[in-house]
Chains A and B, each alone.
Chain A
């Protein structure tokens, strides 16, 4: 999406962001980038598209509506996790504990997928851990925006995920940010855990989950998470290389390890890109 030049384009971008966030898993990077591009630093309210001389506050009801939209839509997909987890052989208790304690979707799906394939528990956990690393970067950006005291931080930390970050980063000021974070976090946490329980129980009642096609839910979730990330050539190259590494190493390496090998696609593409940009820079230098 190109940087919006005018006010009206700005507003349609906002509407679209929230719509996207509510219906599909939101692209936090996109939201944050857009804010960086369109908001002059240090002007509260600008991110909400309010006139600079007008009231900088965004109505609480609007924040709550956006937050609930995301929280409810994504919270319901805990059902897919519960079903996938049970299908991978985890008990209802184990599935529910994962949603209660891990509470970051991609990592949870990755873990149960690796365990279901018979992977080593530490290799399985490592894959989930690397996927959860992006939450540290969200926390970094949210820290200043939310401004929580030291005592609140350990509690707030548990809710720092893709969706809460997308909603919070899109808010114009601290009050809206805290409200958006809390409402998204609470609605998503409650729903995600309830639907995990329902999915795990439902899968047990169904018996053979593969006969119902439920083993395709996991990869579909990964694809849905991946799709909005594939914006530039570098990202597509990383995805392509990761798939090749996975398919080549899968038959020969122990379960759980191929995913970690595939992760090397990211630094590999960065290295090639770095070498290329250095070469270009040198060529430009010499042509002068």
Chain B
């Protein structure tokens, strides 16, 4: 049930955000501070989510094979690899380290 609530709220919320952008007259959100905040908010969220999903298991910090996998993804990004290859690198390296008992 909890999952269904989350899906419903997210679907409605995300749709309204998209629609609001088309409806709101230009100028309302065009203030420099609002624009700066809107640009920085995803940076904070994505960085936090990357750290959380790489370094934790539930409420505990945990270093395991995912660290190697995400490290491989970072390397692939530095080498300007295509998006799918970046994800594949993370998956393959994580699976590899786990298979080796990491």
Contacts and interface: CB of A to CB of B under 8 A. Distances in A.
A joins B in a complex: yes
Contacts of A153: 19, 22-23
A44 to B, nearest CB: 19
Q: In which size bucket is the chain A interface?
A: 35 or more
Chain A binding surface SS class? helix
A45 interface: no
Given A77-B83, A111-B10, A129-B13, A270 B36 contact: yes
Contact of A125 (B6, B18, B69): B6
A156 B15 CA distance: 11
Contacts of B87: 77, 80, 217, 220-221, 224
Contacts of A255: 58-59
B46 A136 contact: no
Interface in A222-240: 222-227, 229-230, 234-235, 238-240
A218 interface: yes
Interface stretch (A35-43, A166-174, A259-267): A259-267
A123 to B, nearest CB: 9
Interface string B11-22: 101110111111
A242 B70 contact: no
Interface string B40-65: 11111111111111111011110001
Contacts of B40: 234-235, 238, 265-266, 269-270
Contacts of B82: 23-24, 73
B56 A250 contact: yes
Nearest to A118: B58
B48 A245 contact: yes
B86 to A, nearest CB: 5
A287 to B, nearest CB: 26
B94 A213 contact: yes
A220 to B, nearest CB: 3
Contacts of B77: 223-224, 227
B53 A218 contact: yes
A94 B56 contact: no
A211 B53 contact: no
A106 B74 contact: no
A219 interface: yes
Given A137-B29, A266-B41, A94 B7 contact: yes
B52 A246 contact: yes
Contact of A157 (B22, B33, B43, B55): B22
A212 B18 contact: no
A98 B45 contact: no
B48 A258 contact: yes
B69 A220 contact: yes
Nearest to A227: B77
Contacts of A246: 47-48, 51-52
A138 to B, nearest CB: 6
A143 B55 contact: no
Contacts of A48: none
A102 B13 CA distance: 9
A223 B50 contact: yes
Top 3 A-B residue pairs of the complex, sorted by shortest distance between their CB atoms: A139-B21, A213-B95, A213-B94
